[in-house]
Structure 1
Amino acid sequence: MFTLFKRKKEAAPVNMDKIPAHIGIIMDGNGRWAKKRLQPRVMGHKAGMDALQEVTIAANNLGVKVLTVYAFSTENWSRPEDEVKFIMNLPVEFFDKYVPELHKNNVRVEVIGETERLPKETFDAMKRACEQTKYNSGLILNFALNYGGRSEITHAVKEIAQEVLDAKLNPGDITEDLIANHLMTNHLPYLHRDPDLIIRTSGELRLSNFLPWQSAYSEFYFTPVYWPDFKTEELHKAILEYNRRHRRFGGV
Structure 2
Amino acid sequence: MSERRQSPGRGVLYGLYQKRLRRDLSAAGAEALPHHVAMIIDGNRRWARQVGFTTVEHGHRAGAAKMIEFLEWCDELGIRVVTLYLLSADNLANRGSDELDALMKIIAELALDLSRQRDWRVQHVGTTTGLPGPLAEALRTAEQASRENAGLHVNLAVGYGGRTEITDAMRSIVAEHHAAGRSLEDLAETLTPELIGEHLYTGGQPDPDLVIRTSGEQRLSDFMLWQSAHSEFYFVEALGPDLREVDFLRALRDFTRRNRRYGG
Segments of 5+ residues of structure 1 without an aligned counterpart are 1-5
1:97, 1:197 → 2: CA distance? 25
Distance in 1 (CA, whole Å) between partners of 2:128 and 2:209 is 25
Which 10-residue stretch deviates more, 166-175 or 125-134? Answer: 166-175
**Which of 157, 174, 190 is the matching residue for 2:191?**
174
| 1:83-162 alignment runs, 5 A limit | 83-100=99-116, 102=117, 105-162=118-175
Q: Which residue of 2 aligns with 1:203?
A: 216
Q: Which residue of 1 is the match for residue 227 of structure 2?
A: 214
Match of 2:85 in 1: 70
Give the share of equivalent positions with the same residue, in percent.
36
State the partner residue of 1:18.
32
Task: Assess, with a 3 A threshold, how the Cα gap between structure 1 residues 97 and 106 changes in structure 2: closer, same or farther.
Answer: closer
User: SS state of the match for residue 215, structure 1?
Assistant: helix
2-side partners of 1:97 and 1:198: how far apart? 24
Note the C-alpha offset of 1:182.
Answer: 1.3
User: 206-215 or 163-172: which moved more?
Assistant: 163-172
SS of 1:154's equivalent in the other structure is helix
Structure in which a larger fraction of residues adopt strand: 1
Q: Which consecutive residues of structure 2, in runs of 5 or more, have no partner in the other structure?
A: 1-12
Distance 1:187 1:119 in 2: 28
- TM-score between both structures, scaled by the size of structure 1: 0.89
> Is the alpha carbon distance of 1:48 and 1:161 closer, same or farther for their aligned partners in structure 2, counting shifts above 3 Å?
same
Aligned counterparts of 2:119 and 2:246: Cα–Cα separation in 1: 22
SS of residue in 2 equivalent to 1:208: coil
Match of 2:70 in 1: 55
Which residue type is aligned with residue 84 of structure 1? L
> Structure 1 residue 64: deviation in Å?
0.7
Counterpart residue identity of residue 198, structure 1: V
Stretch deviating more after TM superposition (197-206 or 169-178): 169-178
Using the alignment, how far apart are the partners of 1:170 and 1:123 within structure 2? 33
TM-fit CA distance, 1:84: 0.6
Is this contact kept in 2: 1:70–1:144, CA < 8 A?
yes
Residue 9 to residue 74, structure 1, CA distance change in 2 (3 Å): same
Query: Normalised by the size of structure 2, how large is the TM-score?
Result: 0.85
Count of aligned residue pairs for this structure pair: 239
Q: Go from structure 1 to structure 2 and tell me whether the alpha carbon gap of 1:124 and 1:242 turns closer, same or farther (over 3 Å shift).
A: same
Query: Is structure 2 residue 63 aligned with structure 1 residue 45?
Result: no
Matched-pair contact (CA < 8 Å) for 1:201–1:224: yes
Q: Equivalents in 2 of 1:164, 1:122: separation in Å?
A: 32
Corresponding position: 1:249 with 2:258: no
Matching residue's letter, 2:195:
L
Deviations along 1:148-172, one digit per CA (max 9) or x if unpaired, are: 0001111122233344445334311
Question: 2:77 and 2:129 mapped to 1: Cα distance?
Answer: 33
SS of equivalent residue, structure 1 residue 152: helix
CA contact (8 A) 1:22 1:196 kept: yes
